[in-house]
Structure 1
């Protein structure tokens, strides 16, 4: 491909230089904030060499090129438009994209920005938990041995200090000092508080604070309380900084921020957040455990449609709360079935289509969905012809029903498709669900058919 020429052709099809507010790219897509998307010629863009699909989501117009190609297109594209490629420019792009979102999508994106950087730590702990489970089940190592106890500490560390990780990431997203967010998270898991992690009948002591009985119970493994606490902290810090002279800002602002947020957390935010988190988990668990797979059928069938809205980014917070309170994350296997079903539908399109460009896109896009990256196959293939997208929803529902019925769970979050085998607690039933979702979507897509130009 002539990447210089593709970049040159893109600009007029996007409505000209004045219509492109800012741009950046991720692993597979060019992400652009457009002033007026009515001026964008989407069909002509999709016909360009190398383009695997285009769609509007999360306040951005996104063009799929695929791994490796997208950065080669972006380099001449940014140069022609005079874009600055520094981190400051990236932050400005994020702010521009936020302004184009509706409030609900903005909230979902905010949660995603907080949790996505934490996912590697949770994945590592989840894989270690899986390894420990195999060691215990097949008696590879004595549970009282030093090796087992050491790996056990390694596997639980990320969940024990989760409030610190969330505190740092959330403060950064809320525009506050990240290290103060980490301090608030640290306060919530202080050794002076009873650690409820792994305890079922924890009975904390109480202290008298301003006439209130405060339980000395830590927040290890919680999500919602620390999110609320750090949000309040960000408001406190910003308002204190407005009235404190610059000369003493470094001394006064952190001190006042930590002490005020700490008191508010112990007296109000913490207990309220714990109650809210427990309520969400109890409700979801009741639906999941009493419907015998129906929840998987519904969630698996609807998940890809939810992806189109961008709201799925908010699910990380719920999954993290489930993961720390229950035996495993039972939502992720259902999302995984919806994702691989998109790949099954994409394969059906590949085998049946006579359109050369569609055939070139469908196979690699379907394979990428089996690795957990679904945007190319959803927006570049299935949604373009509509009925394959419906076929994928049917496959996701069938696979979701099976993994929910057999109670497949995971030790982490963020990984779907083939990579999820590393954190699946029941790899055999996960594999069966994988095959059911893919095959059902493949057959449903062929039976539904679609019209091609």
Structure 2
């Protein structure tokens, strides 16, 4: 069945275009908000050749297609339905149901997912530069060294500007003003937090000393600041006359928000971010493999809720903290993803069914490449016991990578692609952890999964 035929069948089986309130797609899934989910024939949709699974989350009816092909299916779907694509943020908001934790996770996801390509590029470059420098393959006075150094640090230096731009869009403000606010908090007149030694300059404001320190590479100060800016912006537009709005409003918004951010929001946000980072560092240092065991064994369950997307904020906080400057969480997540791929392979070998193989093989490969939704929702959760086997493998792999102090230089890449951002001294242990997670998950799932379920019989 072609992508066009699949799209037409999905549209028909969900109740037609009149039942579609909004539609978008992510890397692997059609994300639909339906007026009436009950009329959708989920079983028939799951039986379509190109569909790897269907589930409902946060009011969204999500159809798992797979990387690459989902773009073509959605294009055909939108043409058949006569609709235009909404942003994933709009779909998330339309499908929202009153869980505050998931609402916060969705908001953080909508802010940080668009930023990931820039962070991945910088992190990948940082890994290459580290390898070249460690093995003395590049002269530190060379032009290429300086270029790679600038590329590897640029996204982290201007991270508040990126957060300001995207965050303002998500919170309903002016993205240019959001980016400008990020520029204020990273202005060259402020001392770079990465270069602070034993002291930093201060300025007196109403009898209080305010540190003249920038927020390069930080996350939480800018998140709070851009949220506050959007609130100020809405109030300002209401009270400023229309004739003066374009002149006075931007000045008032940036002056008020800039002052409050420097005096209160920035220091408070830094305190929150440092507290989270140092707390995790304490667990990582003192709990060691036990922390990896717990995090690796529970991560795939968190993926089901969608809350995992909010972890990018915490990971960026680790990278932006000069005392840590390494992402030790992502290797754990990577082991959990690989384990679900191993569990998916086990289903294929245990069932020995052509239809199961056609679904499980590409889903398992996708998980090993870092995209786990097809494996989790399309295969492992369908039989449940392989999912448990995947949790066991994730726990084993997570414990190993924490024990051996595997670290990454960026966010977003797991599985085999994650090798590109693993610190050079950790690559071998990352590969060993990969093997442990995969093999343990495969064996556990193979032993737990019956060859034939009662439902199948």
Same-fold status (TM-score > 0.5):
yes
Residue 368 of structure 1: aligned partner: 366
Residue 191 of structure 2: aligned partner: 194
Residue 84 of structure 2: aligned partner: 84
CA distance in 2, matches of 1:247, 1:197: 44
CA drift of 1:264 comes to 0.7
Residue 293 of structure 2: aligned partner: 297
Tell me whether 1:313 sits opposite 2:309 in the alignment: yes
CA drift of 1:269 comes to 0.5
In structure 1, the residue corresponding to 2:199 is in which secondary structure? coil
Counterparts of 1:258-277 in structure 2, within 5 Å, are 258-277=254-273
CA distance in 1, matches of 2:171, 2:188: 27
CA distance in 2, matches of 1:273, 1:16: 47
Distance 1:166 1:3, change over 3 A: closer
Tell me whether 1:342 sits opposite 2:337 in the alignment: no
Residue 353 of structure 1: aligned partner: 351
CA distance in 2, matches of 1:69, 1:150: 36
Distance 1:10 1:152, change over 3 A: closer
Counterparts of 1:301-450 in structure 2, within 5 Å, are 301-325=297-321, 326-425=324-423, 426-450=426-450
Q: TM-score, normalised by structure 2?
A: 0.93
CA distance in 2, matches of 1:402, 1:256: 53
CA distance in 2, matches of 1:357, 1:11: 23
Unaligned residue ranges in structure 1 (runs of 5+): none
Q: TM-score, normalised by structure 1?
A: 0.94
Greater CA drift, 45-54 or 440-449: 45-54
Counterparts of 1:274-293 in structure 2, within 5 Å, are 274-293=270-289
CA drift of 1:173 comes to 1.1
Distance 1:380 1:185, change over 3 A: same
Moved over 4 A (4+): 2-5, 15-18, 89-92
CA distance in 1, matches of 2:270, 2:3: 52
CA distance in 2, matches of 1:49, 1:153: 47
Unaligned residue ranges in structure 2 (runs of 5+): none
Residue 178 of structure 2: aligned partner: 181
In structure 2, the residue corresponding to 1:61 is in which secondary structure? strand
CA drift of 1:257 comes to 0.1
CA distance in 2, matches of 1:135, 1:84: 47
Tell me whether 1:139 sits opposite 2:122 in the alignment: no
State whether residues 58 and 92 of structure 2, in contact with CA within 8 Å, keep that contact through their aligned partners in structure 1. no
State whether residues 196 and 202 of structure 1, in contact with CA within 8 Å, keep that contact through their aligned partners in structure 2. no
Distance 1:91 1:163, change over 3 A: closer
In structure 2, the residue corresponding to 1:197 is in which secondary structure? helix
CA distance in 1, matches of 2:80, 2:150: 52
> Residues 358-410 of structure 1, C-alpha deviation per residue, up to 9 Å, x if partnerless?
21010011001111111111100001000000000000000000000000010
CA drift of 1:196 comes to 1.6
CA drift of 1:42 comes to 2.1
CA drift of 1:8 comes to 4.1
In structure 2, the residue corresponding to 1:170 is in which secondary structure? helix
- Once superposed, what is the RMSD of the aligned Cα atoms? 1.9
Choose which of 187, 192, 212 in structure 2 pairs with 1:216: 212
CA distance in 2, matches of 1:126, 1:4: 38
